[in-house]
């Protein structure tokens, strides 16, 4: 154990506190804002002391936005539901398609395998706006515009390359001997994939899935163009708070708190899988 002086420990604690404050401040500020009315938010100078109110959350959950100009209907809870549905379904589909593909790319070098893998990655290079217009036209022609299926399909542009490339790396890290050993013991390649490769790449698959979920959740532009109000996720739905009578900061803050809650909860839950060691010391180098 390295010996550290008291001064060093104090300084180190101070530095960490500073960094954490810096990064956590926006989130803390948003949480505080979500319990304030627009008036208290906009007062000058700003203050941490205020009378907390749940009116913002009430407005979001009931869908009735009270403002100076009157009552406005908003579909925030529906948007939240859309976000959950779109992100979950997209990641699930990307995992079903991407994990076996990643395994194939990791274990079988066939003619053109690198090219195919790279093409899939290149979907991430193009700016979404470049493909959006033609995509919107096509979708209208084939009847996929403003459908969940159409959106989930387009979301594969975000999720699939991510999952494919991250999970492929994890599969490549598994010693081929471990898989050979299972096959020689008399199991089919599919059993080997299920019982050896999948569990060992588990932490990687969880990490990739989580990351893909966050990317899908945060997506804005695909849903903006390809979906109408009743299919839109929170990212697009939040635009409703920019009303004729002004920007509803309080409700925006509450909406943000509600919309980061699922991803935050997911990240905290998945954390233990992410830190779990991969190789677990069974192979000696």
Partner 1 sequence: MGGIELIDVTKRFKSDVALDAVSLRVAEGETLALFGASGAGKTVLLRLIAGVIEPDAGRIMLGGRDMADVAPEERGVGMAFQNFALFPHMTAFDNIAAPLTAQRKGAAALKAGVEAVARLLKIDHVLDHAPRALSNGQKQRTALARALAGAPKVLLLDDPLRNVDAKLRFEMRLELPRLLAAQGATTIYVTQDYKEAMALGHRIAVLEAGRIVQIGTPAEIYLAPATLGIAQLFGDPAINLLEVTPETDAHGPLARLSDMRAPLDPGLGHAVGRPCVLGLRPEAVRFADADAPGAIPVTVEAETPLNEKVVSLTVTRRGREILVSRPAGAPGPAEGPAHIAIDAAHALLFDRETGARIAPRAPDAAQRGTAKRGAAA
124/187 with CB nearer partner 1 = 187
Q: Is 275 in the site for partner 1 (CB under 8 A)?
A: no
Q: Is 274 in the site for partner 1 (CB under 8 A)?
A: no
- Please name the residue ranges forming H helices in 174-285: 176-184, 189-192, 198-218, 221-226, 234-237, 249-275
Residues 6+ apart with CB under 8 A from 200: 170, 174, 178, 278
Inter-residue contact 67 to 129 (CB < 8 Å): no
Give the Å distances, CA to CA, from 117 to 130, 173, 185, 282.
21, 17, 31, 30
Q: Is 108 in the site for partner 1 (CB under 8 A)?
A: no
138/189 with CB nearer partner 1 = 189
Which residue is it, tokens 């009847």? 143
Inter-residue contact 157 to 147 (CB < 8 Å): no
Among the residue ranges 78-86, 170-178, 213-221, 225-233, the one whose residues contact partner 1 (CB under 8 A):
170-178
Paired tokens of 89: 């379904």
The least distance separating partner 1 from the CB of residue 111, rounded to whole angstroms, comes to 15
Binding pattern to partner 1, positions 127-166, x when CB under 8 A?
A: ----------------------------------------
Which residue from 39, 186, 244, 268 is in contact with partner 1, where contact means CB under 8 A? 186
Q: Is 271 in the site for partner 1 (CB under 8 A)?
A: no
Cα separation, 13 vs 280, whole angstroms: 32
Which residue from 25, 118, 180, 269 is in contact with partner 1, where contact means CB under 8 A? 180
174/254 with CB nearer partner 1 = 174
Q: Is 279 in the site for partner 1 (CB under 8 A)?
A: yes
End-to-end CA distance of the chain: 27
Which residue from 113, 175, 245, 271 is in contact with partner 1, where contact means CB under 8 A? 175
The least distance separating partner 1 from the CB of residue 172, rounded to whole angstroms, comes to 16
Among the residue ranges 102-110, 137-145, 185-193, 209-217, the one whose residues contact partner 1 (CB under 8 A):
185-193
Cα separation, 36 vs 58, whole angstroms: 12
Task: Give the three-state DSSP class for 52.
Answer: coil
Cα separation, 166 vs 211, whole angstroms: 10
Among the residue ranges 77-85, 113-121, 194-202, 264-272, the one whose residues contact partner 1 (CB under 8 A):
194-202
Interface with partner 1 (CB under 8 A): 175, 177-178, 180-189, 196, 199-200, 279-285
């Amino acid at each position: 154990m390295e010996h550290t002086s008291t001064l060093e420990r104090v300084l180190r604690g101070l530095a960490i506190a500073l960094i954490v404050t810096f990064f956590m401040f926006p989130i803390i500020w948003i949480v505080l804002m979500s319990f304030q009315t627009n008036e208290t938010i906009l007062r000058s100078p700003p203050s941490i002391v205020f009378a907390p109110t749940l009116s913002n959350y009430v407005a979001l959950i009931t869908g009735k936005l009270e403002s100076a100009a009157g009552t406005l209907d908003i579909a925030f809870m529906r948007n939240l539901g859309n976000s959950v549905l779109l992100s979950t379904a997209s990641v699930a589909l990307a995992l079903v398609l991407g994990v076996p593909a990643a395994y194939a790319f990791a274990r079988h070098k066939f003619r053109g395998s690198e090219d195919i893998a790279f093409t899939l990655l290149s979907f991430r290079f193009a700016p979404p706006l470049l493909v959006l217009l033609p995509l919107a036209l096509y979708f209208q022609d084939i009847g996929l515009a403003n459908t969940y299926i159409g959106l989930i399909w387009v979301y594969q542009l975000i999720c699939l390359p991510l999952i494919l490339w991250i999970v492929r790396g994890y599969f490549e890290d598994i010693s081929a001997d471990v898989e050979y050993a299972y096959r020689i013991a008399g199991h089919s390649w599919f059993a080997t994939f299920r019982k050896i490769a999948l569990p060992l790449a588990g932490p990687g698959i969880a990490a990739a899935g989580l990351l893909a979920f966050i990317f899908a959740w945060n997506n804005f532009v695909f849903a903006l163009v390809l979906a109408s109000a009743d299919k839109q996720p929170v990212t697009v739905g939040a635009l409703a708070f920019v009303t004729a009578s002004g920007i509803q900061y309080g409700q925006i803050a509450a909406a943000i708190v509600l919309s980061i809650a699922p991803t935050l909860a997911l990240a905290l839950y998945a954390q233990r899988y992410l830190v779990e060691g991969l190789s677990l010391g069974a192979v000696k180098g």
